[in-house]
Amino acid sequence: MMTQTTLRSVPSASRGIVLAILIGLSLGACSSPLANRDPVGELFPAVRGQSLAGDAVQVPADFAGDPTLLIVGYVQEAQFDADRWLFGALQAETPVRLVELPTIAGLMPGMFAGTIDEGMRSGIPSEDWGAVVTVYDDADAIVALTGNTRPRNVRVLLLDENGTVRWFHDRGYSAGKMLELDRLVRGMTGDRDP
């Protein structure tokens, strides 16, 4: 890892690139592969995060009482998959709270949390910042629940009003699975209108 003195010796224009490379290397090196698993029927672990709007969030406690769709991403390359799930749910008008949960395990990412979050803010409209909750310190609990192999695929988890996982998918966006999810949410909420 570069020391602060070494980073200062890098020309200003290159500091951002060097920092991005360091963060990228640390993201890949700090989490061990864990086999994917289906957590349906299990309680989502109690984790702490912070929304891009700056609010402290307790998952699943802060979402108790209503079904919540968590879209968990472990690497930046998962954003394409996350966007498809978000668009699918919004287009179907699925009556569920949507929360994007970037989950970044390891010591190094936590050290750069402010920089990483600022990078995310730059690509997300401010009105959506409250629905993006980054998890650093408790990331290992989420990884243990879902596994992290094939990290470009997001983990899509439907939590019931008590925080129990009712539906799970981790194999990439599927229109058929989106319709299945929509039907399940409507059954849970009593909202039968598409």
Instruction: Give the model confidence (pLDDT) of 106-158 as tens digits.
Output: 655 545 555 666 666 676 778 988 899 999 899 999 999 999 999 999 999 99
Q: What local confidence, expressed as pLDDT, does residue 32 receive?
A: 81
Q: 63-74 in b/e burial notation, b at 16+ Cβ within 10 A?
A: beeebbbbbbbb
Give the pLDDT band (50/70/90) at residue 61: very high
Tell me: pLDDT of 30 over 60: no
What CATH number has the domain spanning 33-189? 3.40.30.10
Integer Cα distance of 187 and 194 in angstroms: 12
Q: How many Å is the Cα radius of gyration of the chain?
A: 17
What's the pLDDT at 20?
Answer: 46
pLDDT in tens, 146-194: 999 999 999 999 999 999 999 999 999 999 999 999 999 999 998 865 5
